Amino acid sequence: MGRAAPIIAWLHQQGLRGMGSGKVLEGLCEQLLNAGINLDRSVVGYLVFHPQFDGMNFTWTRSTRTAERQAVVRIDILRLPSPFLNMQATGTREMRYRLDDPNVVLPFPFLDRLRSLGYKDYFAFFEPFGTCADRTVWPDLPDGLIMHEGVTGSFGTTQEGGFNRSDIALFRDLAVPISVAIKVGAILEMAETLLGAYLGPTSGRNVLLGHVRRGQGQIIRAVVWHSDLRGSTALAETSALDTYLSTLDSYYDCVVDAVIAHGGEVLKFIGDGVLAMFPFGDDALTEVEACELAFAAGRDALARLESINAEQAAAGRAQIRCGIALHAGTVMYGNVGSAQRLDFTVMGSTVNEVARLETLCKTLDVPLVLSEAVAGHLKEQLGSLGWHALAGVSREIEVFSPLATAPVQEGPNPGCKL
């Protein structure tokens, strides 16, 4: 263990710090080079919980001295036999193949490729977590195949004669410490990814930083977005479940991607509604910038919907319509809920008002409405849709739209409570 001891101590430190997997691999390979290992390639991989992919690999090469990140999906993982897949499927803890004899038939095409690149030796390890991939998450697993969860790693060299006995012994001593350090970094990254997917990246980071107590929050200024799918009740009643979900996903793709593309943060889905924000002030955007970005996101979302609707029409399916409202003001951003079930969101009169503003899209037959608090900061030529009373709001609000069609009113109604 003398040769391994300082590297193990370093790996423990990285685990305690929650260092990312790529940085762990890069530092490890530098440690191995300093220890006299003729290392030319190293890979670590593991399964992940992520909305878009199922596995993560990091590949380090001596020529670049960096760990290249590669996300993979199930079809890629299962497509071709490989040492990593074999070890995960069988629970095999170790594999070694000498690649310097061209007459030896290798069991995996991947190893033939390494040999063609001049590699002479390959050592791989697998450290299982004691759990297996859930078949409800992996429905396309072949019958009888079990995917053991864990960290898989490999080392390759182009050195003539390959790795020596001391090198292999070192790899064996390091397998568990490497896996622990990688697992810690992977779990933290997955936590941030999943919290970001469900709460939004800023809210997710706030939760990870410990902002988890009820009532804990801050007062911020923001442009608040509220959008809602039109005709969703009828769609749910008349469509098959897969058609309904597919329509919802298409709507969310247009709206959510537009918000994110213009720097906003989606806070939550409320049924088929979307609540988002574009904060401004302090170190964030200026109020004018936030209004411009939110407005651009609204126009972008509607343009994306039009593109989707061209496909819907060609397929003989119903058009997807939505209403979008933008309002600006002060909101409380933080935790609310019961002692045992919390939500990280925005609250306050601005949020209540934007939800009610959105209902005017249907009343006024326009897809996008803006309050004066947003419209007043835009260079775009907008038309006033008049002053409107909102349920539960003590004042009337003037509403604007780039597609204005309603008569313009001169000011608040005389009976409006200001």
Residue-level pLDDT at 52: 87
**CA–CA gap between residue 391 and residue 180 (Å, rounded):** 56
Whether the Cβ atoms of residue 230 and residue 275 lie closer than 8 Å to each other: no
Tens digits of residue pLDDT in 4-44? 999 999 999 999 999 999 999 999 999 999 999 999 999 99
Q: What is the pLDDT of residue 410?
A: 40
Four-CA torsion 335, 337, 339, 342, nearest 10 degrees: -60
Cα–Cα distances in angstroms (integers) from residue 201 to residues 18, 205, 279, 332, in the given order: 19, 6, 13, 18
Strands 322-337 and 273-280, bridge-based pairing = unpaired
Between CA 239 and CA 264 the distance in angstroms is 32
For each of the domains in the chain, give its residue range(s) and CATH number, in order of start: 5-199 (3.30.450.40), 213-401 (3.30.70.1230)
Q: Which residues contact 296 (CB under 8 A, 6 or more apart)?
A: 262
Over residues 171-214, the pLDDT tens digits come to 999 999 999 999 999 999 999 988 888 888 888 888 888 877 88
Give the model confidence (pLDDT) of 40-74 as tens digits: 999 999 999 888 889 999 999 999 999 999 999 98
Write down the mean pLDDT value for the chain: 90
Query: Torsion over CA of 76, 82, 83 and 86, rounded to 10 degrees?
Result: 80
CA distance 315 to 309: 10
Which candidate, 128, 122, 177, 182, places its Cα nearest to that of 4? 177
**The tokens 């496909």 sit on which residue?**
311
Q: What percent of the chain has pLDDT over 90?
A: 66
Q: Provide CB contacts within 8 A for 339, sequence distance 6+.
A: 214
Whether pLDDT at 417 is above 50: no
Residues 6+ apart with CB under 8 A from 139: none
DSSP state of 285: B
Measured CA to CA, the distance from residue 289 to residue 279 in angstroms comes to: 10
d(CA 395, CA 353): 10
Residue 343 has pLDDT above 70, yes or no: yes
- What's the burial of 80, exposed, middle or buried (CB within 10 Å: 0-12/13-18/19+)? exposed
pLDDT band at 75 (very low <50, low <70, confident <90, very high): confident
